[in-house]
Amino acid sequence: MFSKKKEKVGKVSSENNETVIVLDFGSQYSQLIARRIRECSVYSRIVPFRISAADIKKEKPSGIIFSGGPASVYQKDAPKCDPEIFRLGIPILGICYGLQITSHLLGGKVNKGTAREYGRAELQVLGDSELFKGLENKLTVWMSHGDKVLSLPEGFAPIAKTNNTEYAAVCDPSRKFYGIQFHPEVVHTPKGKKIIENFCLRICRCKGDWTMQSFIEQSVAEIRTKVGKGHVILGLSGGVDSAVAAALIHKAIGKQLTCIFVNNGLLRKGEVERVAQVFNKNFKIDLRVSDAEKRFLAKLEGVQDPEKKRKIIGNEFIEVFQEEASEIKDADFLAQGTTYPDVIESVPIGGNPSSMIKSHHNVGGLPEKMKLKLVEPLSRLFKDEVREVGRKLGLPDEIVMRQPFPGPGLAVRILGPITREGLDTLREADSIVVEEMKKAGLYYTIWQSFAVLLPVKTVGVMGDERTYENVVALRVVDSQDGMTADWVKLPYELMGLISNRIINEVRGVNRVVYDLTSKPPGTIEWE
């Protein structure tokens, strides 16, 4: 259901009779649309815009949402859906580009607007509409468009406008076709979820009875079908994602799963011992520990570029797994806890290769020669959804509520070359951050809190002596799903306590700074 493999046109299937599918026209928000649908307790899946009307008809969806996209409908190679989709009698909601392509294909006119509209706008709802049922007449919405609909197709009428866009929302009620120029899926449209809920529950007549338990049941069935009698190995890091993936896969195939913990030398203080203890206690599965610290650090020696670090770690990670797999009979699948934020940050945005944010060792760093086939049951879930699955599977809070930790580990929290000394310094500083955040009751309530070792030294005074030592940055952010984040305003007393402890207890550090950057424009990790 939520596997990483590309959806094949003509391969749409679901056992759930109430499905709203998302036609993806290249929007970076397509997964977010699917997420909002699921938040309405309606099953959702994403399919490519090229899918045929015949294949959609086989799916028997309750509704279709056309995503946004970076193209202009009047461009020569603009993505266009099968026009027969409009003859299936299925409710359709077009978002941004989805509205424009609907208008274009049904006889309306779309072109560049006299003024572009980006950011917040005030939407004026016109009259009564099922789409805006239960909402005020004036709404704050998020716009992101330069093109606009200039004339509507036959049968359509405007149901909302802004100062810049007279057709900010339109509908053909007889065919249950709706279109909106703004993005209801983003948090910047405060009532956006209600709009999507109205489409799913009122217009598409879905009952809204899909749950994470349904996801688990379908995932278990799909894993069993994909793996068959084969054997799966999984990289168990001790983090939330790999733990939930392990529990889910183990529920599906039991003894056909072997978990491998790779000590790459880039882990947090006491991580190896902690993982062995926690997972021997909570999982009755085959857990093997591979000590590969020396080979990872040797490959990373002198490397400064963060992308090179990630690729090296990714390649070495797979090499270790290939070696371990050779000792496991019938090991032909590699399982990973890849989640959606990993995927979206590791692929080009809007089709522009230069716009990739960063690669992840379990996404962008996979070598083509890898012999193992991938099993990624969480790759279409956001972090809070992964946590919910973990709870449903009976995992303890010490695992489910653990803060995210990057796949490349401390390598992307040391700016510049990786050294054993730098790793030891950062481990000590990071353990102080975690310890004090837990004591303050904040560790499980915010998204992430960690230390970063900077490639600069500053002058300080300790006792009566001049020092010239390292700087540690403290990064504490809050987020819902990792797609956006804001820095946390920690109490000054706590900031001071953490700073004092790091400077006094960690050799080689004489200064601590606090990162006040949100995401965007920054990322959560520094590299």
* String of DSSP letters for 241-309: HHHHHHHHHHHHHGGGEEEEEEE-S-PPTTHHHHHHHHHHHH--SEEEEEE-HHHHHHHHTT---HHHH
pLDDT (0 to 100) of residue 286:
83
Beta bridge partners of 93: 65, 178
pLDDT (0 to 100) of residue 405:
86
Q: How many angstroms separate the CA atoms of 133 and 380, rounded?
A: 30
Q: How many angstroms separate the CA atoms of 167 and 179, rounded?
A: 9
**Nearest partner of 236 among 261, 255, 257, 258, judged by Cα:** 261
pLDDT (0 to 100) of residue 349:
39
The answer for residues whose C-beta is within 8 angstroms of residue 384's C-beta and 6 or more apart is: 480, 481
pLDDT (0 to 100) of residue 460:
86
**Mean pLDDT for the chain?**
86
Query: What predicted TM-score, i.e. pTM, was given to this entire model?
Result: 0.67
pLDDT (0 to 100) of residue 323:
83
pLDDT (0 to 100) of residue 468:
86
pLDDT (0 to 100) of residue 390:
93
Question: In this structure, what token pair is assigned to residue 369?
Answer: 């020669």
pLDDT (0 to 100) of residue 343:
61
φ/ψ of residue 245, rounded to 5: -60, -40
Owner of token pair 């379908």: 218
φ/ψ of residue 424, rounded to 5: -65, -40
pLDDT (0 to 100) of residue 419:
94
* DSSP letters for 64-76: EEE---SS-TTST
Catalytic residues: 96, 183, 185
pLDDT (0 to 100) of residue 407:
82
Question: In this structure, what token pair is assigned to residue 71?
Answer: 């193209």
Ranges in the chain, pLDDT < 70? 1-17, 114-115, 282, 340-370, 463-464
Structure confidence by residue, pLDDT tens digits, 273-288: 888 877 777 677 888 8
pLDDT (0 to 100) of residue 364:
38
- Could you tell me if 215 and 378 are in contact, meaning their C-beta atoms sit under 8 angstroms apart? no
First to last CA, the chain: 31
pLDDT (0 to 100) of residue 139:
95
